[in-house]
Amino acid sequence: MDRVVIFNSRIEVARTTVQGNIILLCLFALQVICVYLTMWSQDLLHHFKPALYANILSVSLCFILFVKGISYALQYVSYERSEKGLNRIKADFLAS
């Protein structure tokens, strides 16, 4: 499989994963630019206040971390007794 090395040979990722994420990042950037240009052309930039989104961002982050924690805990419970331990948890987080 074609791999891409990131962060001084510490992380290897499949090239297709990197390409897929770059496409999503470019689409997100294009959306941000389009929204900004639309607001600018309609003289609505004074209505945009990033602080309005801080609360929902923190709530969303907490929810995502909670769901990820529960899903990992359910995965961890399914491991054999000999596979459990801090080394397994470390290996799982380094692998993802």
Q: What is the mean pLDDT of residues 9-33?
A: 81
Residue 1 predicted with pLDDT over 60 = no
Quick: pLDDT tens for 42-89: 999 888 887 888 888 899 999 999 998 898 888 888 888 777 787 888
What are the backbone dihedrals phi and psi of residue 4, each rounded to the nearest 5 degrees, phi first? -120, 130
Residue 13 · residue 25 · CB < 8 Å: no
